[in-house]
Structure 1
Amino acid sequence: MTDLAPVKRALLSVSDKTGLVQLGRALAARGVDLVSTGGTAAALRDAGLAVRDVSDLTGFPEMMDGRVKTLHPMVHGGLLALRDDAGHLGAMQDHGIAPIDLLVVNLYPFEATVARGADYAEAVENIDIGGPAMIRAAAKNHGFVSVVTDPEDYAALLAELDAQDGQTTLAFRQRLAQTAYARTGAYDAAVSTWMAGAIGVETPRRRVFAGTLAQPLRYGENPHQRAAFYTDGSDRPGVATATQHQGKELSYNNINDTDAAFELVSEFLPTDGPACAIIKHANPCGVARGDTLTQAYARAFDCDRTSAFGGIIALNMKLDLATAEAISGIFTEVVIAPGADDAAIAHFARKKNLRLLTTKGLGNPMAPGLAFRQVSGGMLVQDRDNGMILETALQVVTKRAPDADELADLMFAWKVAKHVKSNAIVYVKDLATVGIGAGQMSRVDSTRIAARKSVDMAEVMGLPGALTQGSVVASDAFFPFADGLLAAAEAGARAIIQPGGSVRDAEVIAAADAAGLAMVFTGQRHFRH
């Protein structure tokens, strides 16, 4: 292993041709001999560059529809040979193997092929074999060989060659090798994950998760924690794929909270009208619909004006100027929406501490996917919570059934409760939250806290009593005792939506009937820990 390693011969074989011709010209100008395969060689020749085919190197043509072209000792010997080992050098001389100093490879677009819905046979055909084999060989021999797997690294490679007079340093090659192994690891992870789904293996014996660095972060949840943001390659609308129009870099907590806000507001279709969700510490502090986006924001804000300060705002429709002006009334960390008018963007441009993100649409709350969480010594993996209940699936369990307005509020409250930390209690009136209790160890405490906050907000707004008078309530899980339901009734609730399933359901139903409440069971819970 040496510090400086010259680059005299390069093998290029890429599916992504971005920057290929420019790289080829730059290498040729530095006196590097170019060896290539198939379409890569054709693209370089079309640009007027002298290229030697891999088949000339190996003495074998590409065969089996291109499946076999680089799997040969002339290639792998050139990549793997230790330049300071007499035995390796002797073997190279005996068999006419020339060294390959630089490998530039990116892989068949397997992830993109699967993402566009390819069938099983096409997906299998897009599993690269020769590419990963060469990448791993070159990365292993990074003491002498540079390996580049991403067009984003072309500029750094050329800068290194200029700085080192046509050579690369060991430190540079080590960084390239680490990136290369990460790429092949992510590629294999994509293949194994797809195959598990394709053949119906729900709990694979081994599971791998991979990501691509989107940005290093200043710190994590707290300043003493290091952190970074990685994307998973999916095109799902949300914080990972959004465009940031202004403001400083998002923090760890910003990203986490913005994701929570956008996932919640995506529950509400634009065709049903404007909706707004305000999030603080990953919990909603106000969610509402309105006749306009401005009204939806105002109604969400009125649920808990204190907590909304410094929060995250998510909208289900394109941000307009009037709503942007209303939002500017208090300090807000992030606003995310599926688009924004030029006037709204210009208005926010004067708010240097506010970040505006726009997406390519709303997320699909019913989309499949995985959620995972690290625990000491392992990982918990589950399907993402894409459960959704239709009105027709509700079971009325009380003597009184909810009327049409109550039913609409119950369905709204249920969607919000799905996104509130357990134990979750959500009061709703006229398609707006009027009290939210989150993350308490006791469900009755969540019920009382939400009601108490509604009293505080009524006082701020100059209204008598509590905002929860005449509301409905959603509970993310069943009431284990009647006390939580009775606390909701005391706060003025008229109807309840909950999963049911408690051994004391009969007792809870009897209490609801005694209080004149309507109650429906969903048969589905939404714990969110």
Structure 2
Amino acid sequence: MRALISVSDKTGIVEFAKELVGMGIEIISTGGTYGKLKEAGIAAIEISEVTGFPECLDGRVKTLHPKVHAGLLAMRSKKEHMEQLKELEVETIDIVVVNLYPFKATILKDGVTREEAVENIDIGGPTMLRSAAKNYQDVAVVVDPDDYTKVLKELKGEGAVSLDTKFYLMQKVFMHTSSYDTMIADYLRKERKDTELPDTLTMTFEKVQDMRYGENPHQKAAFYREIGRLTGSIADAVQLNGKELSFNNINDTNGALELLKEFTEPTVVACKHGNPCGVGSSENIYEAWNKAYEADKVSIFGGIVVANRMVTLKMAEDMVKVFLEVIVAPDYEKEALALLQTKKNVRVLKLTEIEVPQNENAYDLKKVNGGLIVQTIDSKLLVEEDMKVVTARVPSEKEMNDLLFAWRVVKFVKSNGIALAKDRQSIGIGPGQVNRVWATRQSIEHAGELIGEDAARDAVLASDAFFPFDDCVEAAHQAGITAIIQPGGSVRDEDSINKCNEYGIAMVFTGMRHFKH
């Protein structure tokens, strides 16, 4: 029996090879692996002795040879194959232990060049893996050091690796090479700054954790992270306290973080079931926290809180009085963290570069039955130059500041979505209604119930899409709202504009919408 060993990740390889040799298995090896085995005193045959051809082109060509691949692909049960091997003086290879050039580690290095990345694209390794895996009935192929123990146990116990294990190892090979090739393709797309959606889409992710369940207890779930630099994402956060993050925790926290990134001033976002429930901005983070909390003291219970400044002890003293699922911030005062850690179940996360936005060409994916719908993320920000005042009355400076604040908030409210704001604080949010006037009325009712009867008076209103009728303006007027921001673009825009003029409400069109389904 012969084994071919050529690994980039040399974890446990010396011990594994010693065990193989101890069972009388002959070792063939290449390059650095061969050197490491020889250094450890393990008898090994260099690949060039098998092929009769020297390694060349700086090691680019080592194993791409018929004497390797015929030895891997020959079906032992097929008489013709075995006769051909004899004629060609080729011996079979029964175990392949290969993992690939460190392409991922290379592209994650600071300042890596394209030339370095390309040089770390493995050719011979994937080819050997595919050959061995295709002939899995006769060849055991190992890509993961975690499988060394399993293979050795079967070799020692049964004298061979079982067919079931070989099939399992075959599956791991094709998952491994598929992920590897996808990493390369994704790197090249980014290197070319290719913004087109491709004709075929392949993506690869690495499992971070299995979860107890998904959205509901009867659903299986796991958390996977993208390959690459994930600065500013939930996948890059360090957990400092609490239970493992759940499916819903991760989904809700991601939404809260993406809203937070819209703000540069001290801001706190509270989120529940994928919708913001309280958002506050101020000159300091404690006041921002107060605004977010006061915006909806009911819905924040069991919610997510994210902040773009260090959490202070004063904030933590307030937070521990509320049942929160997750808290995320760029850092924590020492005393604040110690206090939060007295709550053993609250998940406290540190995300150092919390303000870093997603790449504007990142994909937003939604799985549908039988397919996938893909778009680039909604990263467009509104600037005042894009805004158009369409009413006789122009918003005051204060109203304009609140309109911009409300517009950032409503961008992350499920459609049909309405957000009310006053003094850089959300005061009423109407998410996910099937018509816009219901969302408007809901946001006004919430403001009255949660903050006070006249909370909406002198507030502003933001709508994620245009008004098809003037009924939303009518509801806004009755609540005392003084300014509205919306995309515009309805065939009945004039109805809403005229109604605003009738009531002295200022209205601004943005020319963009933010549906979020």
What's the TM-score once normalised by structure 1's chain length?
0.88
Instruction: Report what 1:92 is aligned to.
Output: 85
1:102, CA displacement in angstroms? 2.9
**Is residue 265–residue 316 contact of structure 1 (8 Å, CA) maintained in 2?**
yes
Q: For this pair of structures, how many residues does the alignment match?
A: 513
Choose the corresponding residue for 1:211, options 194, 205, 216. 205
Task: Please give the per-residue CA displacement for 1:250-275, whole angstroms capped at 9, x wherever unaligned.
Answer: 22222211211222222223xx22x2
Structure 2 counterparts to residues 227-266 of structure 1, below 5 A:
227-236=221-230, 237-266=232-261
Instruction: Report what 1:480 is aligned to.
Output: 468
Choose the corresponding residue for 2:291, options 281, 294, 299. 299
| In 2, Cα distance between equivalents of 1:360 and 1:382 | 28
| In 1, Cα distance between equivalents of 2:337 and 2:24 | 50
What SS does the corresponding residue of 1:168 show, helix, strand or coil?
Answer: coil
Instruction: Report what 1:441 is aligned to.
Output: 434
1:175, CA displacement in angstroms? 2.5
Instruction: Report what 2:220 is aligned to.
Output: 226
Instruction: Report what 2:338 is aligned to.
Output: 346
**Is residue 421–residue 460 contact of structure 2 (8 Å, CA) maintained in 1?**
yes
The answer to whether structure 1 residue 145 and structure 2 residue 147 are counterparts is: no
The answer to whether structure 1 residue 515 and structure 2 residue 509 are counterparts is: no
Aligned amino acid, residue 330 of structure 1:
V
**Is residue 487–residue 512 contact of structure 2 (8 Å, CA) maintained in 1?**
yes
| In 2, Cα distance between equivalents of 1:27 and 1:138 | 18
| In 1, Cα distance between equivalents of 2:153 and 2:380 | 51
**Is residue 308–residue 355 contact of structure 2 (8 Å, CA) maintained in 1?**
no
Aligned amino acid, residue 323 of structure 2:
F
Return closer, same or farther for 1:19/1:444 CA change in 2, 3 Å cut-off. farther
**Is residue 294–residue 451 contact of structure 2 (8 Å, CA) maintained in 1?**
no
1:136, CA displacement in angstroms? 1.6
The answer to whether structure 1 residue 456 and structure 2 residue 449 are counterparts is: yes
Structure 2 counterparts to residues 101-500 of structure 1, below 5 A:
101-111=94-104, 113=106, 123-154=117-148, 157=151, 164=157, 167-195=160-188, 198=192, 200=194, 202-236=196-230, 237-269=232-264, 272-273=265-266, 275-362=267-354, 364-365=356-357, 367=359, 368-459=361-452, 465-500=453-488
Greater mean deviation of Cα atoms: 136-145 or 382-391? 136-145
Give identity over the alignment, percent: 45
Task: Please give the per-residue CA displacement for 1:87-132, whole angstroms capped at 9, x wherever unaligned.
Answer: 4333333333333333232223444555667666655444332222
Aligned amino acid, residue 105 of structure 1:
V
Task: Please give the per-residue CA displacement for 1:348-399, whole angstroms capped at 9, x wherever unaligned.
Answer: 3322221122224225335230111122222111111111122233222223
Instruction: Report what 2:514 is aligned to.
Output: 526
What SS does the corresponding residue of 1:297 show, helix, strand or coil?
Answer: helix
Greater mean deviation of Cα atoms: 282-291 or 165-174? 165-174
Return closer, same or farther for 1:311/1:142 CA change in 2, 3 Å cut-off. same
Task: Please give the per-residue CA displacement for 1:428-478, whole angstroms capped at 9, x wherever unaligned.
Answer: 11111111110001111111101101101124xxxxx23222222221111
| In 2, Cα distance between equivalents of 1:504 and 1:348 | 52
**Is residue 238–residue 363 contact of structure 1 (8 Å, CA) maintained in 2?**
no
Task: Please give the per-residue CA displacement for 1:308-345, whole angstroms capped at 9, x wherever unaligned.
Answer: 11111112223333322211112111122223344333
Aligned amino acid, residue 374 of structure 2:
V
Aligned amino acid, residue 384 of structure 2:
E
Task: Please give the per-residue CA displacement for 1:396-423, whole angstroms capped at 9, x wherever unaligned.
Answer: 2223322332222222222211111011
Greater mean deviation of Cα atoms: 295-304 or 18-27? 18-27
Return closer, same or farther for 1:10/1:350 CA change in 2, 3 Å cut-off. farther
1:199, CA displacement in angstroms? 8.0
| Backbone CA RMSD of aligned residues | 2.8
**Is residue 296–residue 451 contact of structure 2 (8 Å, CA) maintained in 1?**
no
What's the TM-score once normalised by structure 2's chain length?
0.90
Structure 2 counterparts to residues 11-26 of structure 1, below 5 A:
11-20=4-13, 23-24=16-17
**Is residue 451–residue 491 contact of structure 1 (8 Å, CA) maintained in 2?**
yes
Aligned amino acid, residue 241 of structure 2:
Q
| In 1, Cα distance between equivalents of 2:333 and 2:95 | 48
| In 2, Cα distance between equivalents of 1:157 and 1:345 | 46
